[in-house]
Structure 1
Amino acid sequence: MRRDPGLSVRLKLTLSYAGFLMLTGILLLAAMLFFYLYRIPPGWIDTTGNFWINRRVLFRAFAPFMAAVLGFLLIFGLLGGWLLAGRMLAPLTRITDATRRAANGSLSHRIRLPGPQDEFRELADAFDTMLARLEAHVAEQRRFAANASHELRTPLAITQTLLDVARDERRSDVGELVDRLHYVNARAIDLTEALLLLSRADQRTFTREHVDLSLLAEEASETLLSLAEKHGVTLETAGETTRTVGSNALLLQMTMNLVHNAIVHNLPERGIAWVTTAVAPRGVVLTVENTGDLLDPSVVSRLVEPFQRGSERVRTDHAGVGLGLAIVDSITRAHGGTLSVAARPAGGLCVTVWLPSAD
């Protein structure tokens, strides 16, 4: 929430206490002036020098009056202090109420504290931001759990169906059944490993070391060269030394996923994939581009979400498990970087990863 600048809570409290003290002093002086003008007993000023008797007369008249005044000031101070403290601490009441609601599981509530900027408003705005992020994270986790359950249930259901058919038909030739079961089981294993890798990246439980993205790009290209040749895709790798800090294994997996996607989601023939690294201001950049069909921007914007494959990009023989770019995005965020995915005007996809520089 954007706010206008205002006085700090500390200054407000200081001015409030000083003003209340001044008001109390004014009331006390007014009471003394009232006593001097209207309540002085006759003959209290003695011009003969008999000050002792007049002091006693003055004390007998002045003491009850001042006791009443002090009692009034005490009550006035308690009530005024109570109201003043309540007014100053009212924002904390709203923040406490929002905290209780969040503790009970309600993350949709927002404080939205009005007024100019001060410590309480900063705290309320920070709390609202935290609630918004928590709500989005919980919703994402629930959606991810539902999608993961669905994806894992599919190969298990297929396996169960194949086994039931084999038991009912009791065929002697089980070669085809074994092949299909092997494919389904391999897909389930790939999905499970992808989920574990995604969880590891989200938890950020990895050792950090100096990593050169250009070397990882070369390693990923060499490893997937045979796959590129199988699909008729030309791999072009270029760039300068790009040093960052992070997990070598996770960053290599990130690069492998990007290069793999660039190969399998390419043109049927004479496709090209470019893998480049470069040094950017206060960071390093890994860019993976590939030729391919024209992509809808609305589809591209959802590709980093888990289990979002995009019908325009899926090939029947390499559909994947729908976690490739989701894992890339998670690894990038775990390393303090940003991921950008955009459709190329000529067709295909351009994925850019920015990571902090090791320097």
Structure 2
Amino acid sequence: MTVAERQRVRPVSGREGWRAAALLALAAAVVILCLVSVATGTRSVGWVDIRAGIGGATETIGQAAVAARVPRTLLAALVGAALGLSGTILQGVTRNPLADPGILGINNGAGLAVVIGLAWFGMSADSSFVWVAILGAGMTAVFVYAIGSLGRGAATPLKLALAGAATAVAFSSLTMAVVLPRSDISGGALGWQIGGVGGATFERIELVLPFLLAGCVIGMLSARKLNMLALGDEVAAGLGERVALARGMAALGAVMLCGAATAACGPIAFVGLMVPHAGRLVFGVDHRWLLPCSALAGAALLIGADVIGRLVARPSELDVGIVTAFLGAPFFIWIVRRHRVREL
């Protein structure tokens, strides 16, 4: 290898090593936030209680409090990772910087499907909630893409964002129309619509974990395909990529992730919007790095939002969906102004 070739190779390997170090730092941040989460609440706990509570001990009030926070923290990490990952995938599939499971109405579609199952079909089995939520998310994704593809210019970023926003508002109104006349389910359903990780149990985690893992695997396997799609459909097809199959495979992973996350915690918005943009500032546009970064950053964001919700409203708490809305709304405005959204 010549000197010139070595000079071209070194910056690449150095950047790869820097990205790996950044991923490790992000993973360490998630672990630290998990410890902060199990130690934070209405009752202060010491390190002894934390160690015993993580191990499942409930002999003292402090240990019982920690033991109750462990599944809550784990669920926040899993759902945050799922939403961050699905947002990155959706932005890659649609090439839309505003794509997010909440903004595109996918979370609202999953929520509406669950509410209809509860109110009209007497759905009671916990496993049914996940399947129905994924079905609702998938049907909503297809519906929004179809609406956004109407007219000239196919599915442009602006048309998809408008179609998704209109669908989200419509489905949210339909959800209220279904729930309000039903006093037997209205209390729980309305609280679930806010989005939160309170009351998490290991049983709920075990129920959604297979779907989250399957969606994560499909999403990670789509990294190379998303890189190809970023070049444009014509270029990707010219390089031998089956564009429709690649887009469908990646979208399936995103739908499974946000459907299972919605079934577990209710609709939580803006995580899938904020995380990919922050990840690109650090890791660039290569989805082989961006996807694992989004999973870790999403977990960190949702755990942190849950901790903030417990701290700012002591002795009560704010649901994590409210905190992410406060954080995400100004971020959304910044993204719109930065990209000067228009017909593309």
**TM-score w.r.t. length of structure 2:** 0.30
Structure whose residues are more often strand by fraction: 1
Q: Which has the higher contact order (CA 8 A, sep 6+)?
A: 2
Structure whose residues are more often helix by fraction: 2
**TM-score w.r.t. length of structure 1:** 0.29
Question: Which of 1 and 2 has greater Rg?
Answer: 1
